[in-house]
Each structure stands twice: as structure tokens, then as C-alpha cells.
Amino acid sequence: MRAERHRIAGAAYDHADEIADDVMAKIRAELPGYACAGPGLLDDVHDQLARLSRTGLGALLEHRRVCPSDVAYARQAAARRARTGLPLVDYIAAFRLGQRAIWKSLLAHAGDSEAGRAAVLSLAGPLARYTDLISTQATDAYLEFQQYVAAESGRDSQALMDALLDGALPASGPHLSVATAHGIGAERATPVVVVTAVVLDRGEESSESLLQARQSVSAALARCTVNGLRTLSVVRGSEIVAVPALGAGTAADGLCERLRAMGDELGAEGITLAIGVSTTVTEVAQIPRAYRQAQAALELLPEGGGVLALPQLTPFKYLLLRADDTTRQLVDPRIGSALAEDRVRGGTLAETIRAFAAADMNLREAADTLHIHLNTAKYRLGRIQELTGRNVRSVNDLVELLVAIELAAVINEA
């Protein structure tokens, strides 16, 4: 049975382009929304059909279930369809036609043997689950994009964001209603942060494609929340700005983790982000300052992007991130050389210094944390003093060593 399943799915996989051809013929004949589409859209649809066929059939070959992350690219395709104004009913119907075409291909390659027929029937369930998954993912993305565009067209969200970044909350009218719906200003002490995001260089790409990517990011930020309400999020030129309301007594850590997960999800879709998160503020008048903080956080990220959340930084770490070349030049060359050699050898000395500082200079506690013998920890401290000329039991020397270690870490992370 397994051999037959593998044979049938493999044969269909090799004909993924022909499956896409079959679906495209039916789409043009049966679905009015696609009938008047230009060649660019139809080529895109064909590519997506072939890719979705290979994803589903490849999972059958590997005897595994398809996960949402495997079809993350379908969300971007859904946004492109919504952007063209394609009716949702036609969009979903195209998925059904795709399922039938894959099933038709599997049947054709099953043959007339009893083993082949039994094997192809066993593939019906996994194929149906796959179709349900991609239909759900794509429909959610399609509707989300439509909702985003509808909100944008009213301009209420844009106008509200402009007011908030000026430090003002509308006293009445639709803009105040939008603020309340997003949990902003409903209570005077409601904590909020400002998030700024930019889509990193995607090569030679059209302005329309970049705008679509930014709109997709804005839509993702709108659903990135910790208080059960949608987050106010808009595209402002080349950046996306959001003001998530945290809710009374809620820390920003949960939101920051969701932002990192969102960045990973969009990265799987081909959108690489740099995201800056401000400190928490509780007054609308403080939002402009928070916006500047979020923009400053963006500037501290490496070229590859990521998330820099100020609520999760200590003042010490922030100052190190802001350090310039002069700061690095002030590091004693002996310390720099010792740390460079230590990194090559695995970083045990730097690890010991950090653990010693974290244990409030209690060497026994540091040794327990590192799971090493106390004598080993003593040896390492002696080695550090020998290489750097610094005594870790001196507060000034310990701080100097920690600064050098963290400066080097910042450079390596970049």
C-alpha cells in the first residue's frame, strides 16, 4: 500500500504543471472573475496552482501533514487577488477546481489494479485535509486584506494615527470611535506602545509590490494584540506604524514575543522586517515621544532586521547598543585581544565573567550556575586577571570587562 501511494503521488507530483494547466482552463471557462483578468494575473495564478500542487503532493510523498507554515506563500497570493478586486466566491471556487484536478491526476496514475485503487482511495482523506487548510489560510488572508483596505479607504485610521503622533486624542466624532475600538483613550491610564516597522530591501521590485507588502505587514500588525482588540495600524509612506494597547496591568513582553512570531511568519512569506518597539506610555501626549523611540530602535537593528523592543532592554544594554567607534576604541587592547581569543576557544571566560556578575560576585553560586567545579571557576578568574590585567573582584574592573564583552557581542550580532 505504501509503495503504491508513493508511486501514485510521485507521478502526480511530476505532472504538477499539467495539473495547473488543467485548472487554468476550467478557471477561465467557469469563473467570471478570472475571465477578464490580464495575463500577469493569470500567470501568477498558474504559478500558485503548480506550487500548491507540489506542496500537497510532496507531503503525501513524505507521509506527513501540511502545516500552515508550509503554505505561508498562499497568504501573499490571497492579498494579491483581493487587491485586484477578484470576488471571494470565485477565489474559493478556484481552490475547489484545484482539488478536483489533483484528485483527477491521482486517479489517472492509480491504474486499474486493486492495489492502485485501494492506495488512491487512502489518499482522499489527506487531500481533503490539505484543501481545507489552504482554503482556510487563503480565505482568512483575503478577508483580512479586504478589511484592511476598507479601513484605509475611510481614512479614519490614518487621520487618528496622525492625531496620536501629534499627541492629541480627538474629543468626539468617528476618529474617537476608532480610537475606542482599538482600546486607545478609553481609560486614562491605559498603557500603549508604538511599533514602527519597515520592509527591508527586496531587490528590484515595483512600487506596487512594495506597497502590497507594507499593507500585508500592517494587516498582520492589526491582529498582533494582547488585549483581545485589533491594533491600530497604518502604512505611512515607507514605514508601518502601530499603536497596540496593552490593557491595564499588562506588560509588553507578550506583545514583543507575538511581534517576533509575526516577523518569522512574514519572513516565510518572503517579507523581511525591521521592527522597533517603544517603551510603554500611559498618556496620549507621550505617544510622539514613544514614536521617536521606536524609530530610534529601528536604527539600532542589524542589516538583517529583527525586533528591537525597548521594554525588554536594560539601560546598560541600550547604552551599549548606542555605543560608537570611540567607545570601542576606549576598550583596553589587552581586554579586546583576550576576548577575541576566548571567542575562538568557545567563550568560557566571558561566560564566567557574566555568571560571576549575575551572582553578585559570589563565585560558588556562579560555579553552580555554570555547572563547573569551584576550583575550575577559580582558575578561570585567575586566567582572566592574567590575560587582561583586571581583577573581577574590583567593581570598576568588572564593569569594564562586562562593557567590553557586551560591545563585542553587539558587533558579532550585527
CATH number at residue 297: 3.30.70.270
* pLDDT attached to residue 361: 93
Which of 90, 120, 148 is a domain's end point? 148
Task: Say whether both 388 and 289 belong to one domain.
Answer: no
CATH number of the domain where residue 351 is located: 1.10.10.2840
User: Which of 36-45, 109-118, 141-150, 267-276 shows the lowest per-residue confidence on average (mean pLDDT)?
Assistant: 141-150
* pLDDT attached to residue 364: 94
Which of 148, 179, 211 is a domain's end point? 148
Could you tell me what percent of the chain has a pLDDT over 70? 91
Q: How do beta strands 239-243 and 232-236 pair? A: antiparallel
Task: Say whether both 373 and 250 belong to one domain.
Answer: no
Please check the confidence at residue 198 and state whether its pLDDT lies above 60: yes
What is the residue type of 300? Answer: L
- Rounded to an integer, what distance in angstroms lies between the CA atom of residue 161 and that of residue 70? 35
- Rounded to an integer, what distance in angstroms lies between the CA atom of residue 251 and that of residue 256? 10
Task: Say whether both 328 and 399 belong to one domain.
Answer: yes
- Quick check: is 399 in a domain? yes
Q: Mean pLDDT across the stretch 263-273? A: 89
pLDDT (tens digit per residue) in 227-252 = 767 789 999 989 999 999 886 666 78
Q: Mean pLDDT across the stretch 188-205? A: 83
Candidates 99, 374, 144, 162; CA nearest to 288 is 162
Task: Say whether both 335 and 294 belong to one domain.
Answer: no
- Quick check: is 183 in a domain? no
Task: Say whether both 4 and 139 belong to one domain.
Answer: yes
pLDDT (tens digit per residue) in 292-340 = 999 999 988 888 889 999 998 888 888 878 777 888 888 889 999 999 9
- Quick check: is 403 in a domain? yes
Please check the confidence at residue 187 and state whether its pLDDT lies above 60: no
Grid-cell match 499588562, residue found = 250
Task: Say whether both 210 and 248 belong to one domain.
Answer: yes
Please check the confidence at residue 411 and state whether its pLDDT lies above 70: no
Please check the confidence at residue 188 and state whether its pLDDT lies above 70: no
Task: Say whether both 214 and 272 belong to one domain.
Answer: yes
Grid-cell match 542589524, residue found = 302
- Quick check: is 180 in a domain? no
Please check the confidence at residue 61 and state whether its pLDDT lies above 70: yes
Please check the confidence at residue 413 and state whether its pLDDT lies above 60: no
- Are the beta carbons of 212 and 240 closer than 8 angstroms? no
Which of 293, 312, 331 is a domain's end point? 312
Per the structure, how many domains does the chain have?
3
- Quick check: is 156 in a domain? no
* pLDDT attached to residue 329: 85
* pLDDT attached to residue 389: 92
Task: Say whether both 127 and 2 belong to one domain.
Answer: yes
Within 272-332, residue ranges assigned H as helices are 287-299, 315-321, 325-329
Task: Say whether both 267 and 332 belong to one domain.
Answer: no
- Quick check: is 167 in a domain? no
Coil, strand or helix at 275: strand
For 118, the grid coordinates are 485501494
- Quick check: is 162 in a domain? no
Task: Say whether both 352 and 375 belong to one domain.
Answer: yes
- Quick check: is 170 in a domain? no
Task: Say whether both 32 and 139 belong to one domain.
Answer: yes
Task: Say whether both 208 and 294 belong to one domain.
Answer: yes
For 375, the grid coordinates are 576550583
CB neighbour class for 112 (10 Å; exposed up to 12, middle 13-18, buried from 19) = exposed
Work out the angle between the directed axes of helices 39-61 and 73-84 (0-180°, nearest 10).
160
| Average pLDDT of the chain to the nearest whole number | 86
Please check the confidence at residue 153 and state whether its pLDDT lies above 60: no
Coil, strand or helix at 226: coil
Domain range for residue 374?
322-411
CATH number of the domain where residue 53 is located: 1.10.490.10
